[in-house]
A = this chain, B = another copy of it.
Amino acid sequence: MKTTILLADDHRLVREGLRRLIEEREDFRVIGEATNGEEAVELVKTLRPDVAILDISMPRLSGIDATRKISKIGSDTKVLILSMHANQSYVEEVLRAGALGYVLKDAAAADLMQAIEAVRSGDSFLSPSVTHHVVEALARPEDRPAVAASQLTGREREVLTLIADGLSSKQIAEKLGVSLKTIESHRANLMDKLDIHKVSGLVRFAIRAGLVAP
């Protein structure tokens, strides 16, 4: 029985390349591709793959949020996260969300294969180079953009993104259909959580955390 795999990454070339890599293994089979988190969740529901390989940064629904949803629907699908950044120890958050594996995009193909095998059988797997970073990162809890960003509520993250996109509180309030005061409140709360009290700092934080492009 082949291991069935769902591949989710917003970059088509990357997706196609990974598919070739994976399908060199006769016992692996890619049965679906998704270009964003929502699509990935849907495909997991319908296709029931053994393993879902999710890029951590995808539009509509991040890999982390998608992982949470996939865990909740109670399928047997195991989640393997692909991430670009070694420094960003999303790892903790990702594992808490229910993923079994975390592989860096600069890992060797062999590592990915090993990771797929591992999560397929219910084991967890971290890229060797990640383990090191995890330890380091745990020693330095301050200033970890990705982790700090995950402390924010969904609404707060949403507001932060819009602030970084250049909208005023008023515009954000209109866009989200709530009162100006509500947005100001979210703004105050997220500034408090991040301990960043300037728009300039928020923008740079949002960029480092991958919420918006420079």
Contacts and interface: CB of A to CB of B under 8 A. Distances in A.
A135 interface: no
A213 B20 contact: no
Interface stretch (A91-99, A103-111, A118-126): A103-111
Contacts of A106: 10-14, 35
Interface string A30-61: 00000100000000000000000000000000
A164 interface: yes
B198 A200 contact: no
A16 B11 contact: no
Which range holds the interface residue count of chain A? Answer: 35 or more
A201 interface: yes
Contact of A200 (B12, B107, B164, B208): B164
Nearest to A163: B200
A87 to B, nearest CB: 7
B200 A166 contact: yes
Contacts of A200: 163-166, 199, 202-203
A73 interface: no
Contact of A13 (B112, B203, B214): B112
Nearest to A206: B200
A204 B214 contact: yes
A39 to B, nearest CB: 14
Contacts of A164: 200, 204
Closest 10 CB pairs of A and B: A17-B17, A11-B105, A20-B20, A203-B203, A199-B199, A12-B106, A166-B198, A166-B200, A11-B106, A207-B214
24 contacts: A11-B106, A12-B109, A13-B17, A13-B18, A13-B104, A13-B109, A13-B112, A14-B17, A14-B106, A16-B109, A17-B21, A20-B21, A35-B106, A164-B204, A165-B200, A166-B200, A166-B201, A166-B204, A199-B199, A199-B200, A199-B203, A200-B203, A207-B207, A208-B214
